[in-house]
Structure 1
Amino acid sequence: MFLKPYRPKSSAALKGSESKKFRQRLELAFPNISVDQLVPAKAAVTHVKILTHGGVQSIVYCVDRQPMFFELDGGQLVPTLYAMWIIPSILPYYTTHEGVLPKLTNGADLMLPGVVPLGVGLSMYGHYKKGQLMAVNLTNNKSAVGVGQLARSSDDLYMCGGHGVAVKMLHLFGDKLWAHEPSLVQQIPLVRTKALSTDDFPALGAEAERKKTPKAEVSEAPAAPDTFASVTQATDGEELESGTALLSLAEEDDHDHADTAPAAESNEVTPEYILRNAFLSALKNNGKKLPLPLLTSNFYRLYVVNEAAEQIDLKKTRYKKLSNFLADMVDQGFIVVREESKGVDKIISVDLEHPELVNFITDVKENEANGAASETPLFHSELKEMYIVSDVTAAFFTKMNFKRGEGIPVGQVKKIVREYVAKHGLQDVKTKLVRPDETLQELYGNREGTLSEVCSLITSKMEHSYQMCSGKDTSGKPMIQMSLATRSGNKKVTLVSNIEAYGIILAEFIKLCKQGAAASTSIVKLPHQKLEQLQIQGNQVRFVYTLLTETYKVPPKCILGLELAKDGKKNKKK
């Protein structure tokens, strides 16, 4: 995006109130960082509008002349490398090899073969969504060398078989944004971890390790502690038998790395122990979010496997089959399983108050500790630019059913003014100029102007703000309509309309339907309609109603068609 020269269109210093609003935007976009470290309260913040070589308009925010953030189309804020070097944990990282950097700086995106895997199996590329911001660093340096967006979700990257684009690069070390202020450019900070070598792990029982270490050598030892050396030094000049030394080493290592090496009470990690821990972790981390009833196979594949510290092989456990293991968990009271039909089992309830589950402690995943992973969003959320109805403009907007202090989206203000002008016949047919009435005269005087000029005059009297909006706001939205239809082969399907109007992310809704109802779900585009219709195999009215009201918190009064459920009854909540 910034490899080729861009053209600055305008530059302006933010006022105190504007700088405060910018800091609030950062707090919303990056809640896990300290904004004061990047944008100090008294820092000079500059708002630079630019036009990239590709003709894309963007905004760069500079703090004390140094670029710290830039905007994508749609208003999403992206940290620059300078921001990443101050607070490395702003974004999650993908690591690539040192030799890949020159190719990136030549304009290439980060391809999947160049990404160093984060783990094994489905965890190989973490747990991220398509389009998520991602930093890139090198195997020999933890500092960020680039920032981009994921071309696919982590699961899709895993299914690509090692081919295709992983990260679409937006900003790189050495590009024009990095050199925005030539006098302040910085090189990549070197944050290197000491690579382990054979010197760190000498041969067991080696003669040199069983001999005492002179005190002179101890004083010259490097700052990084050497475990084997510390064991021999602890004897204070006396020889230590190799067996005792190895035992002490093992105890120290278990103590220092308890978070990375799981161990059963018997110090033996059995396949049953791994499976049970993964099962308990799945319930602990996802119990409240499970779309019950849930197919046992889907629960194991989507939740248990992802929580396993190592790859699970059911055949190597004493259970041999998943059904046998789950039957044991049923007997112990963790879950309740019901057989829907022959060979089809579903988990219908989970006991989250089970004493063993309550006392079970799960490891915090690294990407969650860094704020990289969060709960799967159910609604589309966006930061909207708003104008707040002020005391001065209240007399005008109350006539259009808006209250004092209410926020109005920027694009809606002109529509409101147009409706007011048309309602009161204030626009001259020939000149198209607006003649102000008494209400408008109180706002800006007895001055005629175009509709755009009137809007500008009114908004200049209002406070400029931003508001995070999501689909949870149901005011003025069409009702969700559920209906039944018959398709080829006399198969019954459930049709759901107007879901998207509530900001619900259809991909996630479809995923929950497939998991919970175990039914084929697809999107149908209807002619002459903007919104899409959801089609679910079978009579799933009751399931959809429960999903919308309990998971998405849609008010029951906004949903039509519950009478078509299999039992023909409505939920009567008192």
Structure 2
Amino acid sequence: MFLKPYRPKSSAALKGSESKKFRQRLEAAYPHVPVDQLVPAKAAVTQLKILTHGGVQSVVYCVEKQPMFFELDGGQLVPTLYTLWAVPDILPYFTTHEGVLPKLSNGADLMLPGVVPLGVGLSMYGHYKKGQLMAVNLTNNKSAVGVGQLARSSDELYMCGGHGVAVKMLHLFGDKLWSHEPSLVQQIPMVKTKALSVDDFPALGAETERKKVATPTPSAPVTFSSVAQTEELETNTAALSLDDQQSQDSSDEEPDEDVSPEAILKNAFLSALKNNGKKLPLPLLTSNFYRLYVVTEAAEPIDLKKTRYKKLSNFLAEMVDQGFIVVREESKGVDKIISVDLEHPEVVNFITDVKANEANGAASETPLFHSELKEMYVVTDATAAFFTKLNFKRGEGIPAGQIKKIVREYVSKHGLLNPLTKLVQPDETLTSLYGNREASLSEMCSLITSKMEHSYQMCSGKDTSGKPLIQMSLATRSGNKKVTLVSNIEAYGIILAEFIKLCKQGAAASTSVVKLPHQKHEQLQIQGNQVRFVHTLLTETYKVPPKCILGLELAKDGKKKRK
């Protein structure tokens, strides 16, 4: 349902009475869940109406910008993964093998052969009705990776003989709803599990004592960190989250003391015009424009009384004077915006913050980064002696494709390969790991990975390790026109079409793609000297580290930022 980009139709903050009704709906749908934990009384709740890629209309409810529930036809409220990670027992679970997750990420439903039965006879799939909401987790991790609806009742699943669809997937780890707010994105929390037994998954048909979950502060969004103190959970998320992203997110959440209330208000106003200008239902009440569009675009809560304008009418009057909008007084005290100037230079050159853009439903149908589900192996205590010699830490995740390369380098460095038998002669470290016997490189990799934890991680272009540097240069074309050339952008997972769009909007310059012979990646050509603009776009919007970009000294002012 959310694997492909959805199109936002409207976004509105719920009033106090509307938020109360929403909380009452949750209490009726999930009476065993403490609603105050998921939707604190003073939390900002946003209702986002969307149209999915398949043409299905839905409503997503966000709490402090984080998607927590979405609606199905008929008004049924479905918890998102963030809700399931905060309150794991809100839904019953079906368990599948870890190798099934990539297939689900490609759009497949959970088939009956992939479901791990936890009982025998008629109770092997629980006692559920057709259409029952089900969470899906993995054999090696109790945390949910998806949520869907039962395609058949439990009795019908038993009678299918192990064939057919078991769960029609609605929402999955890695889809567009999971990445709705980039600054709050989380990887799958690692909740270790023992060998499967009925006791491990009591939610499949047995009522159990509810887990006691730590209550987050009312002003904070409900995230997995707010329940990390759960008595039964032994978590280890170090290997399942991007370190660079974590440090970036923590810095994003810190308030910028240098930003004035007026600047926050002006940026939210420009962002509202940039993201929604063509979709504004003009004429539009000024109060509705402020409440539905400006407030939802603000990076921080806006308090008009703390600005020099004091009132909304004073701020809009200044925007009228500057030529952004035209306001007409319909009747006494009733003002409406009748037109907006989307060609205003400040609007054209304003680059909306990606975080605010996507959080309020104004995201482009094309995301900024390519993303992929990467298979990982986590360094355990049993393998720590081996991997710490190679500068890996306990709990660190290693891509599956790199394990063999790491092992080969270790064997070569210590001269452990027998030239006659082509088998690895174990040293003291390897002997303690899998015993004193010779093995081939492939067997050695299998022995090592069998003692590691298997998991998955959703990765994007933000991981810069081992990637070529982005190169900016200047050249002249016909008519002695200067152009800016940018290479290796796609190596960072950046989607070129979206990058070109931002260049055309921000730099107001013609942008094209040049295919270079004998090279995998394409080169971007932008009219004029746009080195400074491209560097700012890459570092501020795409969060590419400055050390990964070459050519800033070619900027118009000839100055290079010193560290």
Give the TM-score normalised by structure 2: 0.44
- Relative contact order higher in (CA < 8 Å, ≥ 6 apart): 2
Give the TM-score normalised by structure 1: 0.44
Which structure is larger by alpha-carbon Rg, 1 or 2? Answer: 1
